[in-house]
Chain A
Amino acid sequence: MENIEKVKNFSQVVSNIKTELRRDVVGQEDIVDNVIIAIIAGGNVLLEGVPGVGKTRLVRSLSHVLNLPFSRIQFTPDLMPSDVTGSNVIVRDENGNMKSEFRKGPIFANLVLADEINRATPKTQSAMLEVMQEHKITVGNETYALAEPFFVLATENPIEQDGTYPLPEAQMDRFIFKLIMKFPGNDELADIVKMTQITMAETAGTVVDGATILEMRALASSVPVIDEVLDYAVRLVSGTHPELDKTSDTAKKYIKYGASPRAAQALITCAKVRALINGNFNVSYADVEALAYPVLRHRIKVSYAAINEHLSVDDVIGMLIKETKKK
C-alpha cells in the first residue's frame, strides 16, 4: 500500500519540481518536462540552443530543486580528460612520505553540467563515455563509482561551428534525449527580463532529494506496457533503418543511418515515466509518440536528399510516426 501511495504522489512530486523550476526558468515547458523525465529515467540530456536561452540556468536551478551536488564543466579545446575525471597527484602523508593520491575531478557530482561539450577535443569527449553510460570512472588502474543519481546535462551551441568537434555517434547515443531550446517569445522574454532585474541567482527551492529520484525511477519501471505499444516503439525505431527490407520508403530516402537499440529502450523507459507524470498507470501510444522526437533526433542522421528538400530530422521523424501503424 505504501507503493500505491508513492505512485499516487508521483505526479504531485513532479508537479512540485516543475513549480520550483518555473521560478527560475521562464517558458520552455516541454524542455522542463523532458528534462525531468530524463532525470527520473536516469538518462543524460543534450541541450541544444543559442546562447542565453537558459540552458545553464535550467541545470543550475535543477540542482537546487533536486538538492544534489552540482558541478559545471566548461568544455574548451584545451580541456584535458583529467580535467574532467580528476587525476593522481603526489602528496605527502602525515609521516612526510610521498604518495599518490587520486584527486577527483568535477565529474564527481550527481548533476554535471557539461557546458558547450562540442568545444572539447574528441579525446576529452570520449572521457565522458564511460561516465555517462556506466556511471563510473577508470583512472589508471582504479575504477571509481559515481554517486547515484548521476546525470550529465550537456549543452551545445548550434550556431558557432568554428573550432568545435562534433560529438561522435557513440557519445550521442549516450544521451537519452536531445532537447532543442527555442528562443523565447516576446512575453516570455519580457518575463525573463523582469525576473533577472530582481536577482540573477536561482531562487528555486528544494523539493526532492536523490533518494526520492531513485525511488521514483524504480516506481516508473513497474509501469505496465502492453505488447502492442512495445511493438509499436520497436517498429518505430527499426523503421529508421534504411538498410532493412521492411523499412518504409521515407526511411530509405531520407535517413542515412538509423537509431541504435538504446533508442527503443529509452523510448519505453521514458514513456513509463511520462505516463506516471501524466497520472496514467500504463504506457500509451501517445507517450511513445511524444518522446520519439527527443529520443530519435540525435540518433539518426538524415540523408542528403532530406537536406536538399529542407527537411529537418524532426520532419523525418514526424513522417515515420505517421507511417508506423498502431495495432
Chain B
Amino acid sequence: MSTANKKNDGFGRFKKKLRRNAWIKSLLFGVSCGLLAAAGIIIYQKMTTVSPQLLLYLPIGAGVALFTGLLAFLVLRPSIKKIARRLDDELMLGEKVQTMLEYQDSQEDMLVLQREDANEKLMNKPLRSVRDRYFWLSVILPVLACVCITTAVILPVKAVEPPPPVEEEPETPFELSSWQESALLELIEQVKSSDMEAAPKAATVAELEGLLETLRVTTVEKEMKSHVIDTIRVLNQIIRDHNSAVMFYKYLAVSEYEPVKGIAMSMDMISGLEAKEALNHARETLRVDDINAPMTAFISAVSEALAIIQEEGLSKEEPIYRAFLTLTAQLADIGAQADDYTRDWVQARFDEAFAEASDEISDALYVQHINREVKNTTVKRLMEIFGISEDELPREEQVQLPSGDDEPDDEEGDEEDKGSEGGIGNMEVLYGSDDVIYDPVQNTYVKYGDVINGYYAAVSEKILVGKIPDTLQEYITNYFDTLYDGSEKETES
C-alpha cells in the first residue's frame, strides 16, 4: 500500500488539500455556530435586562461549537472514494482516479499504465482546479458570527427605569395640647360623675387615664390616633362585657317562640320600656284558660337560655338573670297549682309574677342603658377632642347568634324538613315523634313526641327551683341537649 500510495502522489496532494479544507471548514463552522449561539444568549440577556453571565454563555457557546464542528466534519470529511469520485467528476478524468484506487495493488501491465496515466493527469492538474465547495458559506458565516458577537458585546444592557420612590408621607408631629389635655381630664371627670355602674365606670376611667398618660409622651399624630382608637375599642369591649343584655339577646333570640323572641329584641335595644312591652305581650300570650302548652314552651325557651348563660359564667345574682329565673320558677309553680285554684287566683298570681319580673328587668336594663350611653358619649367626645372620623373607627362587633337557627344553610332542606324540625325553641314535632315509649305516670305506651316536651319542661322546672341536686343537673341537661341536638342534626340532614 505504501508503495502504491507513493506512486499516487497526484492523488495524495488532492486528498491532503480536500481533507485539510474539511478540517478548516468544520472548525470555522463550529466556531461560527458557537459564537452565534453565545451572541444570541448575550443579546437575549441584555434585551431582557439580565446581566450577561459568563458561566452561561461560555459553556453553551463552546458546546455548540464542538457539536456543530463535529457534525460538520462528519458531513464534510471526504472518504478516499468520495475524493476519487469528486476528482473524476470535477477534473473530467473519466473515472481514471477511481479505477486507479480500485486496482492500486495490481501489477498487471495495463493497470500499471492506467495508474501512471491517472497519476500523470492528476499531477498536471493544479490544486485549485478542484472546486472549493461551501467557500462563500465558510467566509460569510464566520464574518456574520464576528459581527453578531461584536454587536452582542457592545450592545448596552437595556436600561431599566427604577420604580418611582414611594413618597412616604411625612409624619405629622403631635403634641398633646393643653386644650386636649384639659378636655380629656374633663371627660374623665364626667365619666366619674356619671350614673354608669361602678365596675365599667372604673374600667373606663382607668382606660381614659391610661390614654392620657400615653398621649403625653406621644409625638406622632398617627400614633396618637392609633392609641385613641385602641382606647375606643377597649371602651366598647368593657361595656359589651358588662352589659348582660347582650348575652340575653344572644341566647333568647335563637328561640322560635315568638314572645321570647320579642323579649330578646328588647334586650338588644337595652330598652326597659321595650322589655316591659315584650313581657306584657308574653303574658298575654300565656293565657290562663290555655296555659299548659304555651307556658311550657316559654319556660323551656327561657330556661334553656338561662342554662347556657350560666355556663358562660354570668353570676346568678345578675339582676336580669335573677328576674328571669324567678319568673320561670313562679310560672312553673303556678302551672302546677292551676288545677287546684280558681282561675282568678291563678291569673292574679300570673300577672303578679310578670309584673315583678318586668320591673326588675326594666330596672336592670336601665342601668345597662346608662352604661352604654355614657360609653357612647365618651367615645363621641374622644373623637371630637382628637379629630377621629367615623371612618377611622373600628367596626363594632355584632353579636353572633348561636349557629343553626338564624342562618339557614340550606333553605330547601329546611323546607322539606319542616314537619320534623326540632330544637328547644320548637316544640311542635321532634325526630322520632311517632315512636312509642312506656309512660310510667299513665302506666301506658304513648307516643314519644307527645310527652318529651312535657318531660323536659318538668325537669327544667325542678332544676330551676333547685329540687334536683347539682351533681345530677348536668347529666339531665346533657341528656336533653343530646336528645334535641340529635333531632336537630337529623332535621338538618
Contact = CB atoms under 8 A, between A and B. Distances in A.
Interface in B83-110: 94-96, 98-100, 102-103, 106, 108-110
B96 A282 contact: yes
Contacts of B106: 224
Contacts of A282: 94-96, 99-100, 114, 118
Given A3-B110, A4-B109, A222-B110, A280 B98 contact: no
Contacts of B103: 224
Nearest to A3: B109
Q: Bin chain B's interface residue count.
A: 10 to 19
B459 interface: no
A204 B466 CA distance: 163
Contacts of B100: 282
Contacts of B96: 280-282, 284
Interface stretch (A18-26, A140-148, A225-233, A314-322): A225-233
A7 interface: yes
A252 B262 CA distance: 109
A165 interface: no
A128 interface: no
A228 B109 contact: no
Contacts of B95: 226, 228-229, 282-285
B58 interface: no
A1 B107 CA distance: 12
A4 B113 contact: yes
Interface string B66-95: 000000000000000000000000000011
A80 interface: no
Nearest to B110: A222
Contacts of A228: 95, 98
Given A280-B94, A284-B94, A284-B95, A224 B113 contact: no
A90 interface: no
B114 A224 contact: yes
Contacts of A226: 95, 98-99, 102
Given A280-B117, A281-B117, A223 B110 contact: yes
Interface string A1-15: 101100110000000
A225 B94 CA distance: 11
Given A283-B95, A284-B94, A286-B94, A7 B102 contact: no
B111 interface: yes
Nearest to B99: A282
Interface string B355-376: 0000000000000000000000
Contacts of B94: 280, 282, 284-287
| Chain B binding surface, main DSSP class | helix
Contacts of B99: 224-226, 281-283
Contacts of B388: none
Contacts of A4: 109, 112-113
A162 B117 CA distance: 53
A264 B247 CA distance: 119
A235 B110 CA distance: 26
A110 to B, nearest CB: 26
Nearest to B98: A226
Q: Which of A4, A7, A224, A283 neighbours the largest number of chain B CB atoms within 10 Å of its CB?
A: A224
Contacts of A8: 113
A8 B113 CA distance: 9
Nearest to B117: A281
Contacts of B111: 224, 281
Contacts of B113: 4, 7-8, 281
User: Most chain-A Cβ atoms within 10 A of its Cβ — which of B94, B106, B112?
Assistant: B94
Contacts of A3: 109-110
A326 to B, nearest CB: 9
Contacts of A286: 94
A102 B124 CA distance: 62
A222 B108 contact: yes
Q: Name, among B99, B106, B108, B112, the residue most crowded by chain A CB atoms within 10 Å (CB to CB).
A: B99
A224 B102 CA distance: 9
Contacts of A227: 102
Contacts of B98: 226, 228
A221 to B, nearest CB: 9
Contacts of A283: 95, 99
Contacts of B117: 280-281
B368 to A, nearest CB: 111
Contacts of A229: 95
A254 B300 CA distance: 115
A226 B118 CA distance: 14
Nearest to A4: B109
A227 B101 CA distance: 12
Nearest to A232: B95
Interface string A269-285: 00000000000111111
B360 to A, nearest CB: 118
A284 B100 CA distance: 12
Contacts of A281: 96, 99, 110-111, 113-114, 117
Interface in B108-165: 108-114, 117-118
7 interchain residue pairs of minimum CB distance: A284-B94, A281-B114, A282-B99, A3-B109, A222-B110, A284-B95, A226-B102
24 contacts: A1-B109, A3-B109, A7-B110, A8-B113, A222-B109, A222-B110, A223-B110, A223-B114, A226-B95, A226-B102, A227-B102, A229-B95, A280-B96, A281-B110, A281-B113, A281-B114, A281-B117, A282-B94, A282-B95, A282-B100, A283-B95, A284-B94, A284-B95, A285-B94
Given A226-B95, A229-B95, 8 more contacts: A4-B109, A4-B113, A222-B108, A222-B109, A282-B94, A282-B96, A283-B95, A284-B96
